């Protein structure tokens, strides 16, 4: 089962609301379980370069069914996934990407958020996920 456009738009709306509440400008990308883009929003004034990072965070979370921050922990020198960020056309291994699950806990897509600190990126991504 994949995320629907309506679900993706609901997630983006909640993520945008959270970004505005914490006074930051974000790029927000939603992908389905095949890592195909479903929805995207770039807030006025958000960094253009963060659009690509948001998409790659969403794809990374989708490819490995885990938050991008967890990939980061596993990809440190000497860790089991060291250098994984060079695979799959470039992965992102810092927070801001999360799998999106439906009511029964199945992954239906992923969100990637970029444009601020990684802590803010993660906070906004989580707010979006919590919308479902």
pLDDT for residue 119 is more than 90: yes
Q: For position 89, what pLDDT does the model report?
A: 86
DSSP assignment of the chain? ----HHHHHHHHHHHHHHHHHTT---EEEEEETTS-EEEEEE-TT--THHHHHHHHHHHHHHHHTS-HHHHHHHTSTTSTTTTGGGSTT----SSSEEEEE-TTS-EEEEEEEESS-HHHHHHHHHHHHTT-
Q: For position 26, what pLDDT does the model report?
A: 98
pTM of the model: 0.94
């Amino acid at each position: 089962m994949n995320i629907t456009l309506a679900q993706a738009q609901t997630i983006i709306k909640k993520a945008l609301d959270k970004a505005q509440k914490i006074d930051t400008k974000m790029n927000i990308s939603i992908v389905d379980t095949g890592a195909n883009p479903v929805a995207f929003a770039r807030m006025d004034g958000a960094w253009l370069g963060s659009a690509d990072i948001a998409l790659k965070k969403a794809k990374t979370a989708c490819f490995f069914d885990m938050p991008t921050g967890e990939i980061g922990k596993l990809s440190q020198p000497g860790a089991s996934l060291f250098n994984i960020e060079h695979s799959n056309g470039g992965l992102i291994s810092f927070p801001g990407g999360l799998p999106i699950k439906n009511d029964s806990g199945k992954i239906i897509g992923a969100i990637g958020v970029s444009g601020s600190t990684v802590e803010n990126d993660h906070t906004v991504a989580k707010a979006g996920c919590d919308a479902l």
